[in-house]
Amino acid sequence: MPPDDSENRLPEPWLTKPQLAEHLAVSDRWIELQQHVDLTYLRMGGLNRYRVSEVETWIREHYNSSTESSRAT
Q: What is the pLDDT of residues 1-36, one digit of tens each?
A: 555 655 677 899 999 999 999 999 999 999 999 999
Q: Using alpha carbons only, give the angle 27, 32, 14 rounded to the nearest 5 degrees.
A: 85
Cα–Cα dist 43/23, whole Å? 20
Q: What is the pTM of this model?
A: 0.73
pLDDT at 32: 95
Distances in whole angstroms, Cα of residue 25 to Cα of each of 11, 17, 20, 30, 41: 23, 12, 8, 10, 18
Quick one: which of 36, 46, 45, 42 has its CA closest to 13?
42
Coil, strand or helix: which one is 5? helix
Distances in whole angstroms, Cα of residue 45 to Cα of each of 26, 42, 52: 24, 10, 20
pLDDT at 25: 97
